[in-house]
A and B are shown apart, each in its own frame.
Chain A
């Protein structure tokens, strides 16, 4: 196996809280990220995602634990780590006082590129990210989506092996989010880099990440591909409705069929579906394979199937299974386990 591009061992960050209490923002994070992968940290606000990223980018030192990024220790060799990575923070990286073209050229020089190379990459990224029309305007006049694409350009100027993105699409409308992701994936294909991002958008992690690290209250609670997380932690739901008088028969058939398929909990939930029918729900693995079998078995047992549905889980269901809480609902509430800025200009 190749050397991981990120390797963290028991990485921990503790902030002083109110009074004597301490806030453990990240608790003993241990992980390896393979080069070339696209990995998402998924969790609600305040889960410790951004703090993890900030430690890995050397913005803040860990309280304890060790980590290497691109082979460099994040505490002992901060300059080498920073020279190897690109970073796109939660807020906009372009100064409101600057013009995008100037900011990109300055960024290149700060990464040690020569003036010519810096200008070449600036022009290339402006074109690739479709920012030509606004490249010579002050950043404060750019739209939210344009600023985010400018951030990506700033992160990519040094052509990093590793690009870290902290909630890259937060605050964007759906169209701008889709456009942003199109550009991120296009840039990844073009430059072949490793991406590690944080998000609380379930669909983003599900759709784009090859690996999902679920983090909650500072703890890494799951680490796998999205399909495997869903299959192993949540399962598929089969819902059938049958006439009330055949409910007992149907329940028995479902129990037997689900058990034979290896379902962890073959007992169906039964509820009234109205109109003299009952609804039976059972959680199984690979529901798309089991559903036709189940319909056939019910039919053979004389339990007429009125309706049948297959619901596949989302990462929110995974989070619900792991924590007992819905990530979708958690994301509506802003937790502040880590220090935040206040006093932004009105």
Chain B
């Protein structure tokens, strides 16, 4: 299993740049996810690796083989990759076995070996008994597994998955995700996975690359992406996050716009007077019931409970913080009225002021005074 090297990849359609200088290296056997909202360029990046799109510039290499470079372009059929498409793309006029046989026939594998490989691949996905069915006779989950078997049957160098779970219904998706993770670990095949579902990305990946509007924003392990998002945008896209604007008053202190209160933040290089955005995850905002005193060294904020929602394992509270609505998450039910919020300085993430949130969202979380 080779490593995948993508360097300075750019793709333009006319004046419209859909990829700008994308570079990353995927290690042998790694489960690598391209994550981002629709239109961020993740699928285009995958299509470039597959050879279905020709990048405007940049290079792509898998192992010792260079697929794309100045003057070089290996067409998709010459790359020996396996790919599962969002629609599964099973050929409707062929049975499951014939679908799997196609790539083997093209490779002129002899008949007996074909049969062994097909049986083995269908066994991997647990569908050996369905080999003579036509795609339209299978359920969505079965089609997805057949597509995976077809991508694996010829032992490709790298497995490319383009949102393969997005067409399954919610319950099945969770199970399919766990199953996919087990299969990938067992096979140890280098995998590039494209999704817009951040939960899926966090659960499956060894490393995640977050993309936005054609740019690579951050590459890192799931914990790193979640705990230390490189930009406010990543923080907003991966998991939920409260954003508060403010002005730095010292190296470790920010005065919040919404309440006028100063909070301690982790040490940064911002100079006093700079406008900043402070972000905090809902589960890091701890709600103290009235009457309890907060420990020292933490930030204490006063808020009013607006609404509470019970979402199964936990309670989510919408809180009014000055003229701003913030969310907090806790296991404690039945809070109402004025509450005290506690947040460790380390829980705050500090970003230069940007419009991390779209305007309509911004309007929804602002309360007219």
Asked whether A and B interact, the reply is: no
Listed in ascending order, the chain A residues whose CB lies under 8 Å from chain B are none
